[in-house]
């Protein structure tokens, strides 16, 4: 009995130690990104897009500008949305380049890549909607982008 205990207990200890180390390693991998106070570029661009949509919606509340004057300002905001969407596309592409530096498992890599690709697709959709003046569809696209960001942050970055 004592011999069995002499073998089992150390084995249990080793296994326990390995689990603790791997968990703490995982914790350390993301430590820098978690504790950094600097917002990521894609978060800045997402905020810019929301502000632009709010300003565009605010035009409907104006009483003194003519409809054509509002169309001109709307066009200006549309061009800004398109430019920001293009920038967000590029930023989402750069996210994928970070994968080798994150020491993720295969499943985690696939999940990260999938979410980054999804963000890029929504940015492309946003650009297309703005180019075709489909303003009513833009809030839904921004909502989907927000959900994608939340899913990725839940999995890979604690805020």
Q: Which residues bind another protein (CB under 8 A)?
A: 2, 5, 9-10, 12-13, 16-17, 19-20, 22-24, 26-27, 51, 54-55, 57-58, 60-69, 71, 73-74, 76, 80, 107, 111, 133, 135, 154-155
Is 12 or 90 the residue whose CB approaches another protein more closely?
12
Minimum gap (Å) between residue 125 Cβ and another protein: 18
Minimum gap (Å) between residue 25 Cβ and another protein: 9
Instruction: Retrieve residue 42's tokens.
Output: 């894609």
Instruction: Retrieve residue 6's tokens.
Output: 């002499």
At 104, phi and psi to the nearest 5? -90, 160
Minimum gap (Å) between residue 124 Cβ and another protein: 20
How far apart (Å, rounded) are the C-alpha atoms in residues 103 and 105? 7
Is 17 or 98 the residue whose CB approaches another protein more closely?
17
Is 63 or 101 the residue whose CB approaches another protein more closely?
63
Closest to 152 measured CA to CA, from 101, 118, 103, 124: 118
Residue 109 burial (C-beta neighbours within 10 Å; 0-12, 13-18, 19+) = middle
Minimum gap (Å) between residue 47 Cβ and another protein: 9
| Distance of alpha carbon 116 from the chain centroid | 7
């Amino acid at each position: 009995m004592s011999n069995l205990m002499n073998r089992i207990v150390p084995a249990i200890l080793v296994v326990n130690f390995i689990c603790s180390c791997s968990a703490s390693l995982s914790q350390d991998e993301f430590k820098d990104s978690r504790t950094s106070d600097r917002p990521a570029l894609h978060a800045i661009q997402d905020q810019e897009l929301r502000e632009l949509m709010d300003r565009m919606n605010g035009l409907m509340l104006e009483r003194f500008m003519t409809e054509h004057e509002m169309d001109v300002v709307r066009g200006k905001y549309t061009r800004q949305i398109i430019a920001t969407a293009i920038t967000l596309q590029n930023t989402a592409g750069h996210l994928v380049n970070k994968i080798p530096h994150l020491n993720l498992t295969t499943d985690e890599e696939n999940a990260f890549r999938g979410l980054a690709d999804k963000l890029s697709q929504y940015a492309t959709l946003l650009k297309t909607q703005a180019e075709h003046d489909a303003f009513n569809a833009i809030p839904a696209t921004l909502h989907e982008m927000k959900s994608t960001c939340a899913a990725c942050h839940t999995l890979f970055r604690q805020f």
